Amino acid sequence: MGAGATKGMIDHRVRNGKWERLGRSVYRMPGAPWSWRQRLIVACLTWGEGATISHRAAAALWGFSGFIEGIVELTVPRSRKREGHGTVHRRGLRPRDVTIIDGIPVTTPMRTLIDLAAIQRVGSIEEALDDVLRRGIVSLASMRRGHDELRRQGRPGITSMQKLLDQRDPAVSTPESVFERRLLRIMEREGLPTPVLQYSIHDAAGLIGVVDFAYPDARLAIEADGYRWHSGRVRWDRDRARLNRLTLLGWRVIHVTWTELTRQPKQVIATIDSALSSTP
């Protein structure tokens, strides 16, 4: 009706099957293809003003690592009485915790991460936090400021996020991938010394390369070899030349594949531990 249609016109089109009623004042044409983003918009419209895509749906909308499109999840004001679409959380959102993506109201990356920390396992939040820091979506400083503001209000997820933020040193690199984060987590859990992340190694000719993890005193490098490394003869030759230069400097390199990490994590740890123990 706000767009000029009378109640009688709307009822007539619904009865004739020209429009499909989705909720209060929300309609669509039957047969039109559905999309996930369309379902997000419908959810916000059915719940009314102040409804905001949040939690796992917001993470997928922002493209956080580990979260995929599909779920419809949103936050609505506590006082909202009507019913609507999607998985709903009832609580207040500050205006600065909400932004717009393609016309869809969504929680900011910072607020999304803290909301996720209340419902997701710590490992998945850690990987998502790494992802947004690595891509520059949020900075560690702004994440800490936002966290401190919400902590004073006693928001769910604050304790879990506090632990993750406390573990991060602004001077220390963030793992470059989920693969590296999981390898690092297993190494720490098994009691191995914490390696240096994204360590640059040079020789007289200049930079040899940046290794994923390094124990400089032991001259031991660990590479998390994802599929990105297997991309043809040119890269293979370059990697062999790089390995030769590292060997001449006395560096040893352990390569860990995703399959080894997921199927034989104990063996991976034993190999690294053995290499550290046999340092010349």
In the chain, which segments carry CATH 3.40.960.10?
A: 178-277
Burial label for 52, CB within 10 Å (0-12, 13-18, 19+), is buried
CATH of domain 178-277: 3.40.960.10
List the one residue out of 16, 100, 6 whose CA is nearest residue 58.
Answer: 100
Write out the H or E segment, with its range, that includes residue 99: strand 98-101
Q: How many residues does the chain have?
A: 280
Helices (H), the chain: 7-15, 36-47, 55-62, 109-117, 122-135, 140-151, 158-166, 178-189, 233-248, 258-263, 265-277
List the one residue out of 196, 240, 236 whose CA is nearest residue 218.
Answer: 196
- Residue 63's region, left for phi above 0, alpha for psi from -120 to 50, else beta, is left
- Residue 3's region, left for phi above 0, alpha for psi from -120 to 50, else beta, is alpha
End-to-end CA distance of the chain: 80
pLDDT tens sequence across 2-60: 455 666 665 556 566 556 666 566 666 666 777 899 889 989 988 989 999 999 999 99
CA dist., res. 208 & res. 239, Å (int): 10
Q: What are phi and psi of 60, to 5 degrees?
A: -70, -40
DSSP-assigned states of every residue in 134-197: HHTSS-HHHHHHHHHHHHTTT-TTHHHHHHHHHT--TTSPPPSSHHHHHHHHHHHHTTPPPPEE
Q: What are phi and psi of 41, to 5 degrees?
A: -65, -45
- Give the pairing type, strands 26-28 and 52-53: unpaired
> What's the predicted TM-score (pTM) here?
0.65
CA dist., res. 25 & res. 14, Å (int): 12
| 56 and 71 Cβ atoms separated by less than 8 Å | yes
Walk along the chain (280 residues) and give the pLDDT tens digit of each residue: 445 566 666 555 656 655 666 656 666 666 677 789 988 998 998 898 999 999 999 999 999 988 999 999 999 998 888 777 889 999 889 999 999 999 999 999 999 999 998 888 888 888 888 888 888 888 888 888 888 888 777 666 788 888 888 877 666 667 777 888 889 889 989 999 999 998 999 998 889 988 989 999 999 999 887 644 444 444 556 777 888 899 999 999 999 988 888 889 999 999 999 999 987 6
